[in-house]
Amino acid sequence: MGDSEFCVVCGSTGRPLVDGVCAECAADRTRLVTAPQRVVITICPTCGARPVGTRWEGAGSSSLLTATDLTPHVKVHPEAGLRRVDWEEVSFTPTVREFEGSAHVGFRGAVRTVKVPMSVRIDHRTCPDCSRKSGKYFTATIQLRGPAEGPFEKSPVLRDRLETQWNRLLNEARPDWKRAVSWLEPLPEGFDCFFTDTLAARAMARLAKQRFGASLKESATLFGRKDGRDVYRVTFCLRFPRPPKSSPASVEQ
């Protein structure tokens, strides 16, 4: 701290000084917050995921830009601390959106609100998962079937039952397992569910076996070769047992 009794800029007394200048005047003379003139943010138009390094994250997120997208591009002076930034969209075109941020910054004991303009161009790019799904790509299939033996079930009744159990299973599944589901195809004998990730399909099949007492059979078919290795597509056949019959209602006396 300096030994001066007053700020050499504004003349105020009784304030902490650094090099003869109070925090308020130092803040006025310092660029506390900066941002690039133009920022490019990539979003998958199908699922809302954003690329983070070599991976895509946030599938299922909104395609609207939020502080999570914008604030990381703000640069703060080494002596300042960024508390938060409140963003407001002020104008937009089909390709560019203009934002104004109100950055709340702490600097040498003083708190300032600094306006931060930011121009954002949105790069709509389909993520690898959505690209594979749109191209009907899959590495594994779960076959949803009724029991192999016993009375015949009509197709509509069987599919309604299997669909109900499958939806219950999805509610319990981990998010990354659900994201691996590509599409569901109805068949007279049940459903085929196609996955873009074999490990996720295997986990879902085992969960179904545990939750519903379904029988599980796994088989693999050679699909091709990649990088000198055989590539297989795996099929998991789940046979869901028929629900127990309800006991007849008692007859009132």
Give the model's pLDDT for residue 82.
86
CB 58 within 8 A of CB 41: no
CB 166 within 8 A of CB 178: no
Backbone angles phi, psi at 119, to 5 degrees: -105, 130
Give the model's pLDDT for residue 1.
43
Domain boundaries, the chain: 19-127, 136-239
The three-class DSSP label of residue 25 is helix
Amino acid letter, residue 133: K
Give the model's pLDDT for residue 250.
45
Q: What gap in Å lies between CA 164 and CA 162, rounded to an integer?
A: 5
Give the model's pLDDT for residue 232.
84
* Model-wide pTM > 0.75: no
Strand 229-239: give its sheet, edge to edge.
181-187, 190-195, 140-145, 229-239, 215-226
pLDDT, averaged in runs of 10, over the chain (253 residues): 62 66 71 86 90 86 88 87 90 87 83 88 88 86 89 84 92 90 90 93 95 93 78 92 64 45
Give the model's pLDDT for residue 190.
92
